[in-house]
Structure 1
Amino acid sequence: MAINKSQHEATTKEKDKGVSVQVVDPLFDVTVQNKPEQTEGQAEVFGPERLMDPQQKDKAIKDDAHSEKEAETIPEVNVLAIVVLSQGKCGLSPCITLYLVAMAAADLLAIITNVILHRINDYYFPLNFLSITPVCSVRYVLLRAAIDCSVWFTVSFTFDRFVAICYQKLKTRYCTKKTAAMVLATTGTLLCLKNIPIYFRFKPKVIIDNVPFFCSNKRSYFTDPRWIGFRRFEKVLTPLIPFGLILFLNILTVKHIFKVSRIRKGLKCQNKALDHSDPEMGNRRKSVILLFSISGSFILLWFEAPLILKASLLDKAY
């Protein structure tokens, strides 16, 4: 028995080996068939793979195999980075170390929720505790919170380095471990609160034995002005504003460095008796390299996102 997609409010119930299935999302096309030769103990699978044709399933297998490899390597790198940085033996200030640990932890949480709990779990274990609608909604909230924290922790780190390089008087008060901890805690709390409404945007796709499974966007998510405004706010908050802030702060930092470098070179030329080694400029050079490495990675990774999305849409079109 197949569910007709044109029947937007249709509700269907089917009994199959004592299992009650109720389709509550008309866009989720579930087919329940009675198999006369079905062996005992074999159960119907109500998961995303039922909706795939063979070509889509092969592509999904390849994607998830790649995701599984990522899940085995990338979290180990993040955990190793957190352990090494936490020891405080990298020659970095406590302020920088705290920002780097926070960014690595946020990235690790994003990888766990997206790759392990979402992609790998949904394909290899399509019907389990994590697929229950409330748990599925929490997973998505955690994923969005982790992405937002990762982005805005990078902005916080960029601003900290901007102050440290461009404002020496403010550096002694702002660029401290206590201030960094306060900034990270406040930013993380606000971003978690911002993502709470996402929990209420979902409804169950199917109900099996009175248990809701999977997540589907409510119709009001696309029609309610409040949800429309929330979606626009999300797009502006991540990553448009961070993208602009990072570019703006880096431009100001580079401009200040060039200005100071010209002044210090002029002073050296006037007094040739002075030692030409400049430890202050050496420290600034190291700080700038670290800043640009992190900011550049952020910009490149987010710049790839719309390109990948456009490529995937073109691939589906053809």
Structure 2
Amino acid sequence: MTRLELRGVSRAYPGGLDVLRGIDLDICSSERFVLLGVSGSGKSTLLRVIAGLDPPDTGDVCLDGQSVLGVPAERRDLGLVFQQPLLFPHLSVEGNLRFGLRVRKLPEAEIRLRVTEMLARTGLEGLGARRPHQLSGGQEGRVALARALITRPRALLLDEPLSALDAPLRRDLREWIVTLQQATGTTLLLVTHDQEEALAVAQRIGFLQNGELQQVGPPQDFYQRPTTLAVARFFGAQNFISGLQDGAVVHTALATFQAARPGHGPVTLMIRPETWQTGPAAVNTVYGVIRSATYAGAHWVYVLEVSGLTLVWHAPTAARLQPGDALTLHAPPDACWPIPDEAL
């Protein structure tokens, strides 16, 4: 469908607060791209710049290689869905779907065909005559997405459309969004603060922190190969050990670790809590005492004290250990990911 490109995009609020700082980003045609970050990181501002609702202070926004800086929002042909569905309350579901098509002055026969097709594609058959107040939250969300897609936009921009829904409904709708995007081939940019949602939807993720893109890549890289400590923490890493790396070896106060990649200099070693294994090994072995044990359903969470440092182990439910128990753990080398201190 459409390729989105950002070149050096910056924006500041009145008073000099930098919200976006020199953003460079390519989103491929027909790609599902998720822009992820905490509240205030600049995610929604970047989406509004792409949509044409806010102008950048510097930089360029291109669609299929053509700058759209001078093109108003209504002429960029982009579908936009906000956190709230913002349906027209006085119109039926069909009326909401017809609205954008009538504005574009499509023939009535074409409008009827598209509405029928979209109701079927989004599972809204039989609901066309209902008003928004007669719909569930999930149905409202689907109508909002259907209304954005029915005009066949060049790309679809979603600004946290699932955040107001309860967890089971969010899971259902994000799966539905992936299925719908695959069926239509529409380029999709989703903004969210939910890392589980990002992992479930994205083909690629961009992590935004303080107005800067810290990492862009496939979801598995964020979980297993973060480039900064902020990314690692956002994706649930809990074990960080300072050390000095020399090739593939990291020397720390706890032990000598074989790392997943070579390097040199001061690093922080990230070891995800579920990757620890019981018992000693030639390298990557630590000895600790359990300070707390918490049942988490699929696993136990054990907090250990190891030479004055706190480490966390997510253990199988079969493990039944108690506070005060001594424990020996080791981590496979491919689970020991060094983050250079200059990247922190």
TM range (shorter): under 0.3
Between Structure 1 and Structure 2, the one with more helix by share is 1
Between Structure 1 and Structure 2, the one with more strand by share is 2
**TM-score calculated relative to the size of structure 1:** 0.23
Instruction: Report the structure number with the largest CA radius of gyration.
Output: 1
**TM-score calculated relative to the size of structure 2:** 0.21
